[in-house]
Amino acid sequence: MYDLIIIGSGPGGFEAIMTALRKKLNIAVVEKGKLGGNCLNRACIPTKYFWSGAHSYQKLPLFEKYGIDLSYKKISFTEAKKNKDSAIAFLRKSFIQLLKIKNVPVYKGVGRIIDKNKVKITYSDGKEDVIEGKYILIATGSKPSSIGGLIPDDKFIISTEEFLEKLETLPDKIVIIGGGVAGCELAYISAVYGSKVTIIELKDRLLPLRSISPEVSRNLQRRFKKLGINFHLNRFVKKYEIVDEKIIITLSDGSELIADKILLSVGRIPNTDIDDLGLVKDEKGYIAVNEYLQTSIDNIYACGDVISSPMLAHVASYEAKVAVHNMFASEKKKVDYSILPWAIYTAFEVSHVGLNEIEAKESGIEVISGYYTFTYNEKAVDEYENEGFVRLVFEKDSKRLIGATIVGKEAGELIHILAIAIKKGLTAEDLHNFIFFHPSLSEIFSHATYDVVIGKLF
């Protein structure tokens, strides 16, 4: 009997494996697809690869400023895709290699929990195995949703996963259904790599998430316009038909669009069909867990997209650590999502942690905010990336930092400075007097506190 059977090897499974190996546990891994799961093979990591390519390409016209004499032609998605596959293979192989060195058995089939200690694995050839474990971790992730009559067909209608894992050539015209995070990330990549992009979004702005301030959406919409990305807000697809290998799309307002492909980016649904034990689900259909991440059967834990916490890779990793800890430690830990930074890589980098002004208001917290742009940030000017801003949200009386949004270079890294600041209760004055390296992008946090701590300039 294994100490622990881990079903799924995405960010949750991976972190559980790392933790378990360091705890010298005897583990088995069940994975129906490629090791590394969606994040590594068809979501976060390929997205950031293509983003790096698109961003690099967009910076090329500025290289002459540094005295670099270059000429360049079009950018090729097909070439990038090949090398993206190699980069991901490098990461996946290092993972496989580690499992091999550590003699961890990997059962490459579909896992199903048939008993509180038993997992049945069904292989693609129909054969089966049953393995036993003292503990089981469900880290089976999620899959792309579809909407209305729009069902991926691998040809005209594709999911984000097909785009990121399989697509060899970009379509001339792509219509993206859904202007959320994945939609806006892939819109940027597609546009820079040469597609004509149109986004259809049901709500009244791109990135219409509660935690994303309208000012971020407005900024992004401006940038998208400059990039030639069209977007239709407050609309949805009423119907579509295929005529001569083209998709004719009719929107809710009666207007028509023609596309070579539709990319569906309308959220994800958890992979919860995992057991014969009747594991309890919550009201939204996720696997129900308590604050220790135990399911309704106490030796079976779950983490990541199958439970109702935010569907983010780093949440899964964090939960995996907590779950493995709780299985074997004398004192269990509760999950704590209070400080949860996230970032988006689209026409610019956006990141956020804590509350924005609107959320704070809704929670009845009076706030005061500090705003500063990168326009005159010396490091940003040196790198010709001085567009963007930071908005810091402070609780009005205590001046404690409770939230922050960054738009600009390295937003996805810089946000952690503020995440720790929020976690540790730093005030505007603490940030103002903190010594940031000069010249750095991070200095902006000290500048963004000036209004609140010392006084306004104008």
Residue found under tokens 């899959």: 143
Which pairing describes strands 401-407 and 389-395: parallel, antiparallel, or unpaired? antiparallel
Which position among 3, 26, 33, 76 is part of the footprint of its own copies (CB under 8 A)?
A: 76
Q: Smallest distance from the beta carbon of 376 to its own copies, in angstroms?
A: 5
Residue 207 CB neighbour total at 10 angstroms: 23
Position 221, amino acid: Q
Q: For 39, how many CA atoms within 13 A lie in the half-sphere containing its CB? A: 22
- Please count the residues of this chain forming the interface with its own copies, following the rule CB under 8 A: 100
Site stretch for its own copies (CB under 8 A), options 65-73, 139-147, 248-256, 295-303: 65-73
Residue 18 makes CB contacts below 8 A (sequence gap 6+) with: none
Residue listed under structure tokens 């129900």: 288
Least gap, CB of 361 to its own copies (angstroms):
25
Residue type, 393: V
Structure tokens at 458: 């104008």
Which among 104-112, 153-161, 173-181, 415-423 is the span making contact with its own copies, rule CB under 8 A? 415-423
- The least CB distance from residue 126 to its own copies, in Å, is 35
Judged by DSSP in three states, 425 sits in coil
* CA proximity to 211, closest of 401, 404, 387: 404
Restricting to residues 179-208, name those near its own copies by CB under 8 A: 193
Is 56 a binding residue for its own copies by CB under 8 A? The answer is yes
**Which residues ranging from 394 to 413 are in contact with its own copies (CB under 8 A)?**
410, 412-413
Among 26, 75, 106, 235, binds its own copies (CB under 8 A): 75
Site pattern 115..154 for its own copies (x: CB under 8 A): ----------------------------------------
Active site residue 438: yes
* CB neighbour list of residue 13: distance below 8 Å, 6 or more residues apart: 6, 7, 29, 31, 37, 137, 139, 320
The binder of its own copies chosen from 3, 26, 52, 209 (CB under 8 A): 52
Of positions 3, 26, 33, 57, contacts its own copies by CB under 8 A: 57
Rounded CA-CA distance 352/212 in Å is 8
Burial (CB < 10 A; 0-12, 13-18, 19+), residue 141, is buried
Judged by CB under 8 A, the chain residues 416 through 445 that form the site for its own copies are 416-417, 419-421, 423-424, 426, 432-443
Binding track over 309-348 against its own copies, x by CB under 8 A? ---xxxx-xx--xx--------------x-xxxxx-----
Q: Regarding beta strands 237-243 and 246-251, do their DSSP bridges make them parallel or antiparallel, or are they unpaired? A: antiparallel
> Judged by CB under 8 A, which of 8, 11, 171, 179 binds its own copies?
11
We find the least distance from the C-beta atom of residue 68 to its own copies, in angstroms, to be 5
292 binds its own copies (CB under 8 A): no
Applying the rule CB under 8 A, the residues between 87 and 116 that interact with its own copies are 87, 90-91, 94
Residues 352 and 341 sit within 8 Å (Cβ to Cβ): yes
Kindly tell me which residue out of 40, 202, 279, 306 binds its own copies, with binding defined by CB under 8 A. 40
Q: If phi over 0 gives left and psi between -120 and 50 gives alpha, with beta otherwise, what is residue 236? A: beta
- Return the residues of window 18-37 that contact its own copies according to CB under 8 A: 18-19, 21-24
Segment lying near its own copies (by CB under 8 A), choices 75-83, 148-156, 175-183, 280-288:
75-83
Nearer to its own copies, 112 or 268 (CB): 268
Residues 350-389 that bind its own copies (CB under 8 A): 351, 376, 378-379, 381-384
- Choose the binding region for its own copies from 54-62, 111-119, 210-218, 287-295 (rule: CB under 8 A): 54-62
Query: What three-state secondary structure class fits 38?
Result: helix
Q: How many residues does the chain have?
A: 458
What's the closest the beta carbon of residue 363 comes to its own copies, in angstroms? 21
State the Cα–Cα distance between residues 258 and 250, nearest whole angstrom: 9
Identify the active-site residue in 55, 232, 352, 438: 438
Confirm or reject binding of residue 68 to its own copies (CB under 8 A): yes
**CA nearest 431: which of 405, 395, 392?**
392
Q: Reduced to 3 states, what is the DSSP secondary structure of residue 315?
A: helix
CB 184 within 8 A of CB 215: no
When the beta carbons of 50 and 107 are compared against its own copies, the nearer one is: 50
Pairwise CA distance, residues 376 & 168, whole Å: 41
Active-site amino acid positions:
438
